Amino acid sequence: MKTKGNAFLILLFISLVITAAAGCGSGQPAAGGSAPADANAATRVYTDATGREVEIPVNPQRVVTTQYLDAMLALGIKPLGAPTHVLDNNYLGELQEGVVDLGSPFQIEKVLELEPDLILSANPEEVEQLSKIAPTVVVPWMYGDVFAQFKEIAKVLNREQEAEQWMARLEAKAAEGRTQLAGAIGQDEVVTIFMAYGKDVLRIYGGRNVGHTIYRSLQLTPPPFIQEKLKQDPDFKEFVFEQISMEKLPEYAGDRIIMLIYDQAAKDAGGMFHQIEQSPIWKNLDAVKNNRVYYVDVDPWFAYSPIAIEQSLEQAIDLLSK
């Protein structure tokens, strides 16, 4: 009888242990007030940049983005999918391997198939459609500068510390670059950024896109026209570029020129850059005669996003120090 009683007590003890273990795995706080086992299921209410309140996961696991692939990768998160136009670049390489191409424009069916728990968009007009699939947060493309965007995306993804560390590392690299270029480029030297596109487009750039690296990271001197534009738009929300005629080149050209050739059409006969290169106006510019023109590619220079900026910064230091 005593043996049977002991056996019963042992079975009862095992049953209680199993029940307690099941309770700890059910999402209820364990003894001592520790976090739920399924912490990824927790949500919070987030007010996005457009003023919408959205209930989102605290730690999203399955994210789709319609724009911010680069920023997400910089934060150490690879999205499930992104549109073709976002994936169509030559600078992210292996970093974006495995990201599903959603088409361009993105196909709602492909987004649905990925079963995201969060969607990150740059366009408020996409919200109505996408929010039927998963919570959708909007960070508008013209929301401040690239760092304002980056920090907002980090808040959404619960990666604020990673964003701060990334920006600090970039600034350290920029500071090192400024020191390296101090002996190569005089403080009074003006650097102008032009872009040739297609058959008839010529632009001069300010502090966004290609201008970020030159004027903000390396703090080189823009021409007076751009200096005035940047004073009027200190948050880089409005002014991106000015389209100009070829005849304006002497007016805006500095001691050094960064020339971005956007596409092959600009290089072809009759294209914008081909016209510029053949013109007496271009040939008579001091920067051209002094061999101080630097030709750069669309990728990574044209992309206005964290990893692209870091890569273009490295290239700029190398180019300008020669």
DSSP string covering 91-148, please? SSGGGGTTPEE-TTTTPHHHHHHH--SEEEES-GGGHHHHTTTS-EEE--TTSSSHHH
Listed residue (170, 181, 222) closest to 317, CA to CA: 181
Q: What is the CATH number of domain 39-158?
A: 3.40.50.1980
Fold: same for 39-158 and 185-320: yes
Q: How far apart are CA 304 and CA 212, in angstroms?
A: 8
Q: Mean pLDDT throughout 125-150?
A: 94
Lowest mean pLDDT among 52-61, 131-140, 175-184, 228-237: 228-237
Q: In this predicted structure, what is the pLDDT of residue 18? A: 34
Q: What is the Cα gyration radius of the chain?
A: 27
Q: In this predicted structure, what is the pLDDT of residue 174? A: 98
Q: In this predicted structure, what is the pLDDT of residue 236? A: 78
CATH architecture label of 185-320: 3-Layer(aba) Sandwich (3.40)
Q: Mean pLDDT throughout 239-253?
A: 95
Q: In this predicted structure, what is the pLDDT of residue 239? A: 85
Helix/strand/coil for 302: coil
Q: Cα–chain-centroid distance for residue 233?
A: 21
- Report which secondary-structure segment, H or E, holds 24: helix 2-24
Residue with tokens 């319609």: 66
Domains in the chain: boundaries:
39-158, 185-320
One-character DSSP codes across 30-76:
PTTTPPPTTGGG-EEEEE-TTS-EEEEESS-SSEEESS-HHHHHHTT
Lowest mean pLDDT among 26-35, 62-71, 287-296: 26-35
Q: Mean pLDDT throughout 35-59?
A: 82
Q: How far apart are CA 253 and CA 194, in angstroms?
A: 9
Q: In this predicted structure, what is the pLDDT of residue 142? A: 87
pLDDT tier for residue 2 given thresholds of 50, 70 and 90: very low
Q: In this predicted structure, what is the pLDDT of residue 272? A: 97
Q: In this predicted structure, what is the pLDDT of residue 40? A: 56
Q: In this predicted structure, what is the pLDDT of residue 90? A: 93
Mean pLDDT, the chain, as a whole number? 88
